Structure formats: structure tokens, C-alpha cells
Amino acid sequence: MSRPRTFSAGARRAIAAFHAAALILGAAAAPAAAGDWPQFRGPYRVGVSPETQWVSRWPAAGPRRLWTAQVGQGFSSMAVKAGRVYTMGNTADQDVVSCLQAATGKVVWQYRYPCRAGDYGGPRATPTVHENKVYTLSREGQALCLDAATGKLLWRRDVARELRAAAPQWGFAGSALIQGNLALYNVGKAGVALDKSTGRVVWNSGSGTAGYASPVPFTIRGRSGVAFFVADGIVGVDPRSGRALWQHPWQTSFDVNAADPVFFEDSVFISSNYNKGGALVRVGSGRPSVVWESRNMRNHFHASVLLGTSLYGNDENTLKCVDVRTGAERWRMRGMGKGGLIAAGSRLIVLTERGEVVVVGATPNQFTEIARAKVVDGTCWTQPVLANGLLYCRSQQGALVCVDLRAKR
């Protein structure tokens, strides 16, 4: 008989948090194999990896780099499924959707189509890999569905142009969310839903201006919905019909509502930069009410990660831990720039704007730096991805680096 597997207290807390997220967000989509990261912010779109057995301490030279690839300029993060990595970039005003072998970086296929790079050039959205298909959204509002194995185009819809939906100033950035037979996008006044198999428009919310955040699924008091953080606030909708369930105004300079909403019990945390700050808004009754609002957590691009009752996130340029119940600051680490972070086990993996990976203990009691190493050059405004022991980091200029964090066996 094999011995039962044991975990540290920190690992048990992380696993419990991950499974709690799974219960809350289970309607979003069935997860991929353990260790995969098939969509923006991971299996359940909460920025938490289920992996606990990965190396977080390394020599002075840093962890071993397995490979580097050029994928074109942009801010698209990575999706990982079944031994392949999917991302997007732009070269010579052509978007490039790339599929690479996860272990070697070898190109499996690429799909190109015309799209202007724009200011701070390149695509912002991350591919969503669901079943055997890849769903993408360009900064101009073109939705594509590709065969995950071959890169063959299955359907394409210029949803922003067709629906006369206004683009945010720096282009569409929300990654597709799959719910049942629908592919949902942050395009229009409060989202749009396409048939995931054909691209047919199932419902749309009108021609208002989208935000930069991705759609986020939620279930509160037995009612499931999807939240869209748009230019002038947050809206919870019924994904089957697009009917608004609740909404709360949130005005930000330049309409930059970019960080994904984070759900906690019967409330949602929203946050923006330009000194706007964040707020916890109770939405369980259908009549939103503000629990607290402060400037202690001003997420610019990246959403905070929630573990227990602690929010870990980038407050303008500073990593912070904030109590989600009150908004009170617990600790801070300066020097993050506009970088992003994820959680894995009882640790945070932070990618700073300068391309440093910093491993931090995910505890509200005090800030503890575990390890730090420079892994990629250029401007890093994209959150890292940990999948099957491999860490993927990219720069806006298009360098994608894979670092080996697998534990020795």
C-alpha cells in the first residue's frame, strides 16, 4: 500500500483556496489537465496555480532558462495546454497567433492576419484554449477561432465593426471567456456573446465603450453571472441572455478599467489606477452598495490575487497586501513597476517591469522575499504563467522566455 501524500500547512491553504475558487467559478469551463493554464489568469481565471511542488529557491545565477522565442510585440500573456504554449504578438502590422512546444519553444504553427500595432504596439488579449479550439481577440475587435492542433481558421468575426462598438483608447484587451456554448468578449456597452462553434452573434449589449478587463464568471447566492468591467463601471449580466443583473458606476481617468474584478463572498473588488483606488462592492442583493473604498490598492493593468481574506496586488508600482474585508494595508514591496503576479502554493510569483522574477511568501503577517532573478530583457507589463513546473515570462518587445522550476525527483 502506498503512503498517503502529505502537504505543508501553506500548501494546504493554497489548495483549499484553489478548490474554493473552483466551487465558486465552476460554471466557467471544465479545467484542463492538472498543471495546465489554458486561459487568462489560469484554470479558473483567478490568478492562482494549483501547483505546489515547484522550486522557489535557486543559485545566484538564477533558475535554468530552457528556451527563448520571439513572438512579436504586444502584451498578450500565455495559455498552456497539452504540452503547447499559445500567445499573440504583432509584426509589421500583422497579428501573429503562435503555438509553441512547451518544453522546447519550437514553433508548431502560426496564424497571421492584418491588424495595426497601434500605440504601445501589439495585441493585449490572451488566447483562450477550450477543448480543441483557440479563441482570440485583436486590439481592433476581431474575434477569431482557430483549430488548436493545426492553427486552421475555423471562424472569424469583426465584432467591434459589425456592432459599431467603440474601442477603448488603446484597443480591446479582454480575453475570451467560454460559458457553455458561448464565447463572451468585453466588447460594447456590457459585452457580447458569440456561438463558440460558428461565431454567430447570440446577444449584444449595444455600442457603448468597453473596458480593458476580461469577462469574469461568478456565482453568488446560487445565481451565476458574468461581470464586465467597462469604461464607466462594472456590470453583472446573465450570460445566456445578456440581461443586466446589477451594475455599479466606476469612473477612471482615460476610462482605464483594466484589472479584472475579484469576487469575495457576496461582493466584488474593483480597482483602477490614475490614483483612483479600489472598492469592495456588495452585489449579492442585486442592489450594489459600497462596503469600503480607498486608495490602498490601485491596480493598473493586473488584477490582484485573493488568498483567504488577503488581496495581493500591484498598487500603482508597489506590491502590496491588503485586507479584502476592510481595505487596510498589511505590507508593501517597492520597485515592481507595472509588472504582474500570480500565486502558486503558499507563494507569489512576481514579474517586475524590468524583467525580474521575485518569489514572495503569500502571508499577510509580513513581507518575505524568498528569491529574485533577472530572466528577460525589455518592458514587462504581462503577468507570468506557471504551468507544469515551467515559468513563462514575456516582454512587450516580444521576447518569450521559459524558465525551469520543476522540482527534482
Three-state secondary structure string covering the chain: CCCCCCCCHHHHHHHHHHHHHHHHHCCCCCCCCCCCECCCCCCCCCCEECCCCECCCCCCCCCEEEEEEECCECCCCCEEECCEEEEEEEECCEEEEEEEECCCCCEEEEEEEECCCCCCCCCCCCCEEECCEEEEECCCCEEEEEECCCCCEEEEEEHHHHHCCCCCCCCCCCCCEEECCEEEECCCCCCEEEECCCCCEEEECCCCCCCCCCCEEEEECCEEEEEEEECCEEEEECCCCCCEEEEEECCCHHHCCCCCCEEECCEEEEEECCCCEEEEEECCCCCCEEEEEECCCCCCCCCCEEECCEEEEEECCEEEEEECCCCCEEEEECCCCCCEEEEECCEEEEECCCCEEEEEECCCCCCCEEEEEECCCCCCCCCCEEECCEEEEECCCCEEEEEECECCC
Chain-centroid distance, C-alpha 173: 11
Distance of alpha carbon 172 from alpha carbon 139, whole angstroms:
4
Cα(171)–Cα(169) distance, rounded to whole angstroms?
6
Among 285, 275, 262, which residue's Cα sits nearest to residue 343? 262
Q: Decide which of 86 and 28 is more confident.
A: 86
For residue 21, pLDDT over 50 is answered with no
Q: Between β-strands 310-315 and 356-361, what pairing exists: parallel, antiparallel or unpaired?
A: unpaired
Q: Which residues contact 81 (CB under 8 A, 6 or more apart)?
A: 32, 33, 36, 37, 38, 129, 148
Is pLDDT of 149 > 50?
A: yes
Indicate the pLDDT class of residue 409, thresholds 50, 70 and 90.
low
Q: To the nearest whole percent, how much of the chain has pLDDT over 90?
A: 87
Across the chain, mean pLDDT equals: 91
Q: What pLDDT is attached to residue 407?
A: 87
pTM reported for the whole predicted model: 0.92
Cell readout for 80 is 498552456
Q: What is the pLDDT of residues 268-299, one digit of tens each?
A: 999 999 999 999 999 998 799 999 999 999 99
**pLDDT at residue 408, rounded to an integer:** 80
CB-count burial class (<10 Å; 0-12, 13-18, 19+) for 354:
middle
Name the pLDDT band for 23 (thresholds 50, 70, 90): very low
Q: What percent of the chain has pLDDT over 70?
A: 91
CA pair distance 211, 228, nearest whole angstrom: 8
**Which tens digits make up the pLDDT trace of 339-387?**
999 999 999 999 999 999 999 999 999 999 999 999 999 999 999 999 9
Query: For the chain, which domains are there?
Result: 9-404 (2.130.10.10)
| Rg, C-alpha atoms of the chain | 20
Question: For the residues 257-278, what does the mean pLDDT come to?
Answer: 97
The band of 9, judged by pLDDT with boundaries at 50, 70 and 90, is: very low
> What pLDDT score does 385 carry?
98
- The confidence score (pLDDT) of residue 259 equals 97
Backbone dihedral angles phi then psi of residue 14, each to the nearest 5 degrees: -65, -40
Segment 111-145, tens digit of pLDDT: 999 999 998 899 999 999 999 999 999 999 999 99
Instruction: Answer whether 377's CB lies under 8 Å from 41's CB.
Output: no
Is the distance from CB of 99 to CB of 108 less than 8 angstroms?
yes
At 34, is the pLDDT very low, low, confident or very high (cuts 50, 70, 90)?
Answer: low
